[in-house]
Structure 1
Amino acid sequence: MSTSEASRHYRALFISDVHLGTRGCQAELLLDFLKDNDAETVYLVGDIADGWRLKRSWYWPQLHNDVVQKILRKGRKGSRIVYIPGNHDEFLRNFLGTHFGGVEVTDSIIHETADKKQYLVIHGDQFDVVIRHAKWLAFFGDKAYVTALAVNTVMNTIRRRLGLTYWSLSAWAKLKVKNAVSFIGRFEDALCDEARRQGVDGVICGHIHHAANRDVNGIHYINTGDWVESCTAVAEHHDGTFEVIRWVEQAQTGAELAKPQEAPVAA
């Protein structure tokens, strides 16, 4: 998708769960997204870098560095960059309240929209009972997730060769396995309860790799999704409305539109 066709400017962009430093990270797609989309404020809503995986084995290709440089460049050009650490980049929670190269680091923040509504922006792992009470199980689950992503990569290589679109095995499993659906529901309820406790209109979070934009019992619940499976981000338009951007679908649509059209055959 070319910049001239797709370049957009938003009031705010929300990106989470990039997992730089892992082989599953869709850094190339994120870099394309960052080139074609800009905002007054860019919120990095946790798990941008994956400290868990980098501790076990170092993996940092040039594309991952390019993503970091692109984000920093946006800051130099005038965008406000706010980094809210998650559980995978929790080492940054030792630096809350500081600035790195123009990037603000904070545990959570209240975002006010163009139409004066207030949203709690937070990664969300603080409301995940597994992370809070059984971190060893979270590490075990992370390894299982890596295995699922490896299988998913092979499957999608085959799908591309057959001319089929991207399909996420783990995202499909989340929606099919009863316990996973129940976990997502409890997570959403917990975040909305916190938003209600703080007296705000909604919550914007990440963590569970499941994008959403809907009302939950009077609270506007927004989840940014991820850049490992679904490649989604959330944008606030200049009128205060929100949109979940599904970049793989947009990129595929743009590629189809960019294909040269065959000349009509003369009768």
Structure 2
Amino acid sequence: MHTTEAKRRYRTVFLSDIHLGTRGCRSDFLVDFLNRVECEKLFLVGDIVDGWRLRKSWYWDASHDEVIRLLLQAARNGTEVIYIPGNHDEVLRDWLGMEIAGVRLVNEAVHTGADGRRYLVIHGDQFDSVVRYAKFLAHLGDWAYDTALTMNRWFNAARRRFGYPYWSLSQWLKRQVKEAVKAIDRFEGALAQEARRRGLDGVVCGHIHHAEMRMVQGVLYMNDGDWVESCTALVEHADGRFELVDWARENRLSFFRSESRPLAAAA
């Protein structure tokens, strides 16, 4: 998918929920994205590596290696790379305050935009009551989500046979479950309230795999999505304007072709 077209230049890029180490990770699309953008500052907003999954079974392919290589290359080339661990890579929270290969590890950050507005940058699992108070339910939910992604691969294999494009079954299921919608609303409200409590103009987070940018309780709530289904990134332009980039939608033809690979090869 990599082309020789001019690179897109952004002031800041925010990525989260890549989940390297899982079969559902769209590392191929992320490699394409990283090859085609440049930025002054790169925030990795948690769940970059999925430690939960890797403890159960090891999965790592060449494109996972390439993602790591490109992130470290960006740091070497002068991009300020800040890694905010999430719940799936929480082991890295033991190393907060350290800098590894040019990547700085912090629990959270306050980002000042080009226009002077200030934003809390945090993974967000701290504001998820299930993760905080019922971790076994979080692991159960992780298993259910992984099962949905497996079903999704078979479902789309059947769709391809009839000439239909890729469609996310698991995202559709989440939208249909009222309690899931309520949980997303509670999560967004809690993050917005925390940003407002600190006197900030907005918040950037990840965690729930739901890309969004809207005003909530008087502050700008921005979730950069994930690289499992939606393949989205949040970017800041030189003038301080933010935009959600939907890499799957922009490259839908390539995405459909890559989904068309044999299931055995994708496993």
> What's the TM-score, normalizing by structure 2?
0.92
Show the counterpart of 2:168.
168
Show the counterpart of 2:242.
242
In structure 1, the residue corresponding to 2:251 is in which secondary structure? Answer: helix
Rounded to whole Å, the distance in 1 between the matches of 2:116 and 2:3 is 31
Q: Percent identity?
A: 55
Confirm or deny: 8 A CA contact 2:84 2:107 kept in the other structure. Answer: yes
Shift of 1:153: 1.3
Q: Mind listing any 5+ residue stretches in structure 2 that lack a counterpart?
A: 257-267
Q: CA RMSD in A?
A: 1.6
**1:87 paired to 2:87:** yes
Rounded to whole Å, the distance in 2 between the matches of 1:152 and 1:198 is 40
Show the counterpart of 2:36.
36
Confirm or deny: 8 A CA contact 2:248 2:255 kept in the other structure. Answer: no
Shift of 1:163: 4.0
| Structure 1 residues 13-52: aligned runs within 5 Å | 13-52=13-52
CA offsets per residue over residues 211-234 of structure 1, 9 Å max, x none? 001111211000010000111110
Rounded to whole Å, the distance in 2 between the matches of 1:161 and 1:224 is 32
In structure 2, the residue corresponding to 1:244 is in which secondary structure? Answer: strand
Show the counterpart of 1:64.
64
CA offsets per residue over residues 41-64 of structure 1, 9 Å max, x none? 110000000000101111111111
Rounded to whole Å, the distance in 2 between the matches of 1:96 and 1:248 is 33
Rounded to whole Å, the distance in 2 between the matches of 1:2 and 1:22 is 23
Rounded to whole Å, the distance in 2 between the matches of 1:223 and 1:50 is 19
In structure 1, the residue corresponding to 2:9 is in which secondary structure? Answer: strand
Show the counterpart of 1:135.
135
Rounded to whole Å, the distance in 1 between the matches of 2:192 and 2:100 is 31
Amino acid in the other structure paired with 1:228: V
Q: Which moved more, 1:32-41 or 1:151-160?
A: 151-160
| Shift >6 Å, 4+ stretches | 253-256
Confirm or deny: 8 A CA contact 2:193 2:217 kept in the other structure. Answer: no
Shift of 1:168: 1.1
Confirm or deny: 8 A CA contact 2:2 2:35 kept in the other structure. Answer: no
| Structure 1 residues 117-196: aligned runs within 5 Å | 117-196=117-196
Show the counterpart of 1:262.
none
Shift of 1:201: 0.1
Show the counterpart of 2:55.
55
Rounded to whole Å, the distance in 1 between the matches of 2:166 and 2:222 is 23
CA offsets per residue over residues 178-227 of structure 1, 9 Å max, x none? 00000000000000011011110000000000000111121100001000
Rounded to whole Å, the distance in 1 between the matches of 2:63 and 2:16 is 17
Rounded to whole Å, the distance in 2 between the matches of 1:220 and 1:71 is 27
Q: Mind listing any 5+ residue stretches in structure 1 that lack a counterpart?
A: 257-267
In structure 1, the residue corresponding to 2:208 is in which secondary structure? Answer: coil
Show the counterpart of 2:220.
220
Q: Which moved more, 1:206-215 or 1:159-168?
A: 159-168
Larger radius of gyration: 1
Paired positions, count:
256
Show the counterpart of 1:264.
none
**1:199 paired to 2:199:** yes
Rounded to whole Å, the distance in 2 between the matches of 1:29 and 1:165 is 17
Rounded to whole Å, the distance in 2 between the matches of 1:168 and 1:217 is 30
Change (3 A) 1:111 1:104: same
